[in-house]
Amino acid sequence: MKFDDRVAVVTGGGQGIGAAAALNLLANGARVAVLDLDGAPLMQQLAAAGGEAAARCICVYGDCTDAPTMSAFFDRVEAELGPVDVLFNNVGQSARERASPFLESEEATWRFVLEVSLLTTMRASRRVAGGMRDRGYGRIVNMSSDAALAGDAGLVDYATAKMGVIGFTRALARELAPHGVTVNAVCPGAIRTRAHDKLEPEVLARIVAGTPAGFVGAPEDVAAAVSFLAGEDARFITGQTLLIDGGRWML
Protein backbone atom coordinates (compact mmCIF):
# COMPACT_ATOMS: atom_id res chain seq x y z
CA MET A 1 0.00 0.00 0.00
CA LYS A 2 1.38 3.38 -0.97
CA PHE A 3 1.58 4.85 2.55
CA ASP A 4 2.90 1.77 4.36
CA ASP A 5 5.09 2.83 7.30
CA ARG A 6 4.24 6.50 6.74
CA VAL A 7 2.93 8.65 9.57
CA ALA A 8 0.31 11.22 8.55
CA VAL A 9 -1.29 14.05 10.51
CA VAL A 10 -4.63 15.63 9.59
CA THR A 11 -5.65 18.76 11.47
CA GLY A 12 -9.40 19.24 11.73
CA GLY A 13 -9.80 15.64 10.61
CA GLY A 14 -12.82 14.66 12.67
CA GLN A 15 -15.40 15.22 9.97
CA GLY A 16 -15.97 16.44 6.41
CA ILE A 17 -12.96 16.76 4.14
CA GLY A 18 -10.52 16.07 6.96
CA ALA A 19 -12.20 12.81 7.92
CA ALA A 20 -12.37 11.73 4.27
CA ALA A 21 -8.65 12.42 3.92
CA ALA A 22 -7.83 10.52 7.10
CA LEU A 23 -9.88 7.52 5.93
CA ASN A 24 -8.21 7.58 2.51
CA LEU A 25 -4.74 7.65 4.07
CA LEU A 26 -5.68 4.82 6.43
CA ALA A 27 -7.07 2.78 3.53
CA ASN A 28 -3.71 3.17 1.81
CA GLY A 29 -1.71 1.92 4.78
CA ALA A 30 -0.74 5.06 6.68
CA ARG A 31 -0.72 5.49 10.42
CA VAL A 32 -2.85 8.58 10.98
CA ALA A 33 -3.21 11.10 13.79
CA VAL A 34 -6.08 13.59 13.88
CA LEU A 35 -6.58 16.70 16.00
CA ASP A 36 -10.12 18.10 16.08
CA LEU A 37 -12.58 19.63 18.50
CA ASP A 38 -15.04 16.89 17.51
CA GLY A 39 -13.55 13.59 16.39
CA ALA A 40 -16.71 11.56 16.94
CA PRO A 41 -17.83 11.40 13.28
CA LEU A 42 -14.46 9.96 12.19
CA MET A 43 -14.42 7.43 15.01
CA GLN A 44 -17.97 6.36 14.18
CA GLN A 45 -16.99 5.80 10.55
CA LEU A 46 -13.99 3.75 11.59
CA ALA A 47 -16.08 1.64 13.95
CA ALA A 48 -18.70 1.05 11.26
CA ALA A 49 -16.06 0.04 8.71
CA GLY A 50 -14.47 -2.51 11.04
CA GLY A 51 -11.08 -3.98 10.20
CA GLU A 52 -7.75 -2.92 11.65
CA ALA A 53 -7.64 0.69 10.41
CA ALA A 54 -8.86 2.02 13.76
CA ALA A 55 -5.76 0.55 15.42
CA ARG A 56 -3.61 2.74 13.18
CA CYS A 57 -5.47 5.95 14.06
CA ILE A 58 -5.01 8.35 16.95
CA CYS A 59 -7.82 10.87 17.36
CA VAL A 60 -7.22 13.66 19.84
CA TYR A 61 -10.00 16.05 20.80
CA GLY A 62 -8.59 19.56 21.01
CA ASP A 63 -8.49 23.08 19.63
CA CYS A 64 -6.07 23.46 16.71
CA THR A 65 -5.83 27.20 17.36
CA ASP A 66 -4.42 26.62 20.85
CA ALA A 67 -0.62 26.44 20.56
CA PRO A 68 -0.02 24.34 23.73
CA THR A 69 -2.70 21.86 22.63
CA MET A 70 -1.12 21.51 19.22
CA SER A 71 2.34 21.10 20.73
CA ALA A 72 1.15 18.37 23.10
CA PHE A 73 -0.61 16.65 20.20
CA PHE A 74 2.56 16.47 18.11
CA ASP A 75 4.52 15.26 21.14
CA ARG A 76 2.08 12.36 21.45
CA VAL A 77 2.15 11.57 17.73
CA GLU A 78 5.93 11.39 17.66
CA ALA A 79 6.03 9.28 20.82
CA GLU A 80 3.37 6.78 19.72
CA LEU A 81 3.64 6.70 15.92
CA GLY A 82 7.01 8.23 15.05
CA PRO A 83 8.19 11.21 13.02
CA VAL A 84 5.58 12.81 10.78
CA ASP A 85 5.98 12.09 7.05
CA VAL A 86 2.76 13.66 5.79
CA LEU A 87 0.96 16.74 7.10
CA PHE A 88 -2.45 17.78 5.80
CA ASN A 89 -3.20 21.23 7.20
CA ASN A 90 -6.93 20.88 6.78
CA VAL A 91 -8.35 22.88 9.67
CA GLY A 92 -9.95 26.22 8.82
CA GLN A 93 -13.25 27.96 8.33
CA SER A 94 -14.90 31.16 7.26
CA ALA A 95 -16.66 33.52 9.65
CA ARG A 96 -19.89 31.58 8.87
CA GLU A 97 -22.74 33.20 10.82
CA ARG A 98 -20.51 36.21 11.55
CA ALA A 99 -19.74 36.78 7.86
CA SER A 100 -20.62 40.24 6.58
CA PRO A 101 -19.61 42.86 4.00
CA PHE A 102 -16.13 44.13 4.81
CA LEU A 103 -17.28 47.61 5.86
CA GLU A 104 -19.58 46.02 8.45
CA SER A 105 -17.10 43.41 9.68
CA GLU A 106 -15.28 43.37 13.02
CA GLU A 107 -11.57 43.00 13.63
CA ALA A 108 -12.16 40.25 16.18
CA THR A 109 -13.75 38.17 13.41
CA TRP A 110 -10.82 38.82 11.06
CA ARG A 111 -8.42 37.64 13.74
CA PHE A 112 -10.38 34.45 14.35
CA VAL A 113 -10.50 33.58 10.64
CA LEU A 114 -6.80 34.33 10.15
CA GLU A 115 -5.90 32.27 13.23
CA VAL A 116 -7.90 29.16 12.32
CA SER A 117 -7.27 29.25 8.56
CA LEU A 118 -3.68 30.54 8.26
CA LEU A 119 -1.75 30.57 11.52
CA THR A 120 -2.64 26.96 12.36
CA THR A 121 -1.16 25.98 9.00
CA MET A 122 2.05 27.85 9.72
CA ARG A 123 2.29 26.55 13.28
CA ALA A 124 1.83 22.87 12.37
CA SER A 125 4.18 23.15 9.40
CA ARG A 126 6.86 24.72 11.56
CA ARG A 127 6.57 21.80 13.98
CA VAL A 128 7.20 19.07 11.37
CA ALA A 129 9.23 20.76 8.62
CA GLY A 130 12.57 20.58 10.42
CA GLY A 131 12.36 16.84 10.90
CA MET A 132 11.26 16.33 7.30
CA ARG A 133 14.21 18.38 6.09
CA ASP A 134 16.67 16.47 8.25
CA ARG A 135 15.32 13.08 7.09
CA GLY A 136 15.25 14.16 3.44
CA TYR A 137 11.58 13.36 2.98
CA GLY A 138 8.20 14.95 3.64
CA ARG A 139 4.86 15.95 2.20
CA ILE A 140 2.89 18.99 3.34
CA VAL A 141 -0.52 19.67 1.83
CA ASN A 142 -2.26 22.91 2.82
CA MET A 143 -5.96 23.66 2.64
CA SER A 144 -6.81 26.83 0.78
CA SER A 145 -10.06 27.61 -1.06
CA ASP A 146 -11.22 28.78 -4.45
CA ALA A 147 -12.64 31.75 -2.52
CA ALA A 148 -9.06 33.03 -2.39
CA LEU A 149 -9.00 33.27 -6.17
CA ALA A 150 -12.62 34.13 -6.89
CA GLY A 151 -12.78 36.86 -4.23
CA ASP A 152 -16.32 36.09 -3.10
CA ALA A 153 -18.21 39.05 -1.65
CA GLY A 154 -18.73 38.87 2.09
CA LEU A 155 -15.69 36.64 2.57
CA VAL A 156 -12.90 39.20 2.64
CA ASP A 157 -11.31 37.80 5.80
CA TYR A 158 -11.56 34.20 4.57
CA ALA A 159 -10.25 35.02 1.09
CA THR A 160 -7.36 36.90 2.69
CA ALA A 161 -6.46 34.00 4.97
CA LYS A 162 -6.70 31.44 2.19
CA MET A 163 -4.62 33.50 -0.22
CA GLY A 164 -2.11 33.74 2.62
CA VAL A 165 -2.04 29.94 2.66
CA ILE A 166 -1.15 29.95 -1.04
CA GLY A 167 1.68 32.42 -0.51
CA PHE A 168 2.95 30.44 2.46
CA THR A 169 2.80 27.24 0.40
CA ARG A 170 4.91 28.70 -2.40
CA ALA A 171 7.54 30.23 -0.15
CA LEU A 172 7.91 27.15 2.04
CA ALA A 173 8.02 24.88 -1.02
CA ARG A 174 10.97 26.85 -2.37
CA GLU A 175 12.82 26.56 0.95
CA LEU A 176 12.25 22.83 1.37
CA ALA A 177 12.48 21.57 -2.22
CA PRO A 178 16.26 20.94 -2.04
CA HIS A 179 15.66 18.66 0.95
CA GLY A 180 13.17 16.22 -0.58
CA VAL A 181 10.11 17.89 0.94
CA THR A 182 7.16 19.02 -1.17
CA VAL A 183 4.57 21.61 -0.18
CA ASN A 184 1.34 22.05 -2.14
CA ALA A 185 -2.11 23.55 -1.65
CA VAL A 186 -5.59 22.34 -2.54
CA CYS A 187 -8.42 24.77 -3.21
CA PRO A 188 -11.85 23.15 -2.90
CA GLY A 189 -14.96 24.89 -4.13
CA ALA A 190 -18.45 23.74 -3.23
CA ILE A 191 -18.08 20.51 -1.27
CA ARG A 192 -20.89 18.68 0.54
CA THR A 193 -19.97 19.00 4.22
CA ARG A 194 -21.94 19.56 7.40
CA ALA A 195 -21.44 23.33 7.14
CA HIS A 196 -22.49 23.25 3.50
CA ASP A 197 -25.67 21.39 4.37
CA LYS A 198 -26.81 24.39 6.41
CA LEU A 199 -27.03 26.60 3.32
CA GLU A 200 -30.44 27.79 2.19
CA PRO A 201 -31.73 25.92 -0.90
CA GLU A 202 -31.63 29.06 -3.06
CA VAL A 203 -28.01 29.68 -2.09
CA LEU A 204 -27.08 26.09 -2.94
CA ALA A 205 -28.91 26.42 -6.26
CA ARG A 206 -26.84 29.51 -7.13
CA ILE A 207 -23.64 27.66 -6.27
CA VAL A 208 -24.56 24.71 -8.48
CA ALA A 209 -25.57 27.06 -11.32
CA GLY A 210 -22.16 28.73 -11.13
CA THR A 211 -20.27 25.43 -11.23
CA PRO A 212 -19.60 24.18 -14.79
CA ALA A 213 -19.63 20.55 -13.64
CA GLY A 214 -23.21 21.11 -12.49
CA PHE A 215 -23.00 19.50 -9.06
CA VAL A 216 -21.49 19.91 -5.60
CA GLY A 217 -18.39 17.83 -4.90
CA ALA A 218 -17.94 15.29 -2.12
CA PRO A 219 -15.25 15.27 0.59
CA GLU A 220 -13.79 12.17 -1.09
CA ASP A 221 -13.04 14.25 -4.21
CA VAL A 222 -10.68 16.41 -2.17
CA ALA A 223 -9.29 13.46 -0.19
CA ALA A 224 -8.20 11.74 -3.39
CA ALA A 225 -6.24 14.82 -4.49
CA VAL A 226 -4.63 15.14 -1.06
CA SER A 227 -3.49 11.51 -1.15
CA PHE A 228 -2.01 12.01 -4.60
CA LEU A 229 -0.03 15.08 -3.52
CA ALA A 230 1.06 13.25 -0.36
CA GLY A 231 2.27 10.19 -2.25
CA GLU A 232 5.37 9.13 -4.15
CA ASP A 233 3.83 9.88 -7.55
CA ALA A 234 3.84 13.62 -6.77
CA ARG A 235 7.54 13.84 -5.92
CA PHE A 236 8.19 16.40 -8.72
CA ILE A 237 5.22 18.61 -7.83
CA THR A 238 5.78 21.37 -5.29
CA GLY A 239 4.60 24.92 -4.68
CA GLN A 240 1.45 24.26 -6.69
CA THR A 241 -2.19 25.15 -6.13
CA LEU A 242 -4.77 22.59 -7.24
CA LEU A 243 -8.38 23.71 -7.60
CA ILE A 244 -11.06 21.11 -6.88
CA ASP A 245 -14.19 23.06 -7.72
CA GLY A 246 -15.87 21.59 -10.79
CA GLY A 247 -14.42 24.31 -13.00
CA ARG A 248 -15.79 27.36 -11.15
CA TRP A 249 -12.37 28.97 -11.25
CA MET A 250 -9.68 28.00 -13.74
CA LEU A 251 -5.97 28.85 -13.52
- Residue 195's domain is classified under what CATH number? 3.40.50.720
53 falls within a domain: yes
pLDDT digits (tens, 9 = 90+) for 9-35: 999 999 999 999 999 999 999 999 999
Residue at 223 is within a domain: yes
Q: Which residues contact 145 (CB under 8 A, 6 or more apart)?
A: 92, 158, 159, 162, 187, 188, 189
The residues, ordered by sequence, that sit 6+ positions from 28 with a Cβ below 8 Å of its Cβ are 1, 2, 3, 227, 231
pLDDT in tens, 44-63: 999 998 888 999 999 999 99
- Find all residues with CB under 8 Å of 99, minimum gap 6, and list them: 154, 155, 158
In three-state secondary structure terms, 34 is strand
Q: Average pLDDT, stretch 36-43?
A: 95
pLDDT at residue 192 tops 90: no
Section 172-181 average pLDDT: 98
In a domain, residue 250? The reply is no
Count: domains in the chain? 1
Q: Report the distance separating Cα 226 and Cα 192, nearest Å.
A: 17
CB 17 within 8 A of CB 245: no
What's the pLDDT at 119? 98
Per the annotation, the verdict on 158 as an active-site residue is yes
pLDDT, tens digit, 9 for 90 and up, residues 105-159: 899 999 999 999 999 999 999 999 999 999 999 999 999 999 999 888 888 999 9
Q: Tell me, yes or no, whether 158 lies in a domain.
A: yes
**Is 2 within a domain?**
no
0.75 exceeded by pTM: yes
With respect to residue 165, please indicate whether it lies within any of the assigned structural domains.
yes
Q: Please, what is the average pLDDT of the chain?
A: 94
What pLDDT was estimated at residue 152? Answer: 80
Asked whether residue 251 is domain-assigned, the answer is: no
230 pLDDT band (50/70/90 cuts)? very high
Q: Which domain holds residue 199?
A: 7-244
Q: What distance, in Å, lies between the first and last C-alpha atoms of the chain?
A: 32
Q: Pick the catalytic residue from 3, 88, 137, 158.
A: 158
Q: Is residue 1 part of a domain?
A: no
Q: Is the pLDDT of residue 173 over 80?
A: yes
Average pLDDT over residues 68-76: 98
For residue 166, what pLDDT band results from cuts at 50, 70 and 90? very high
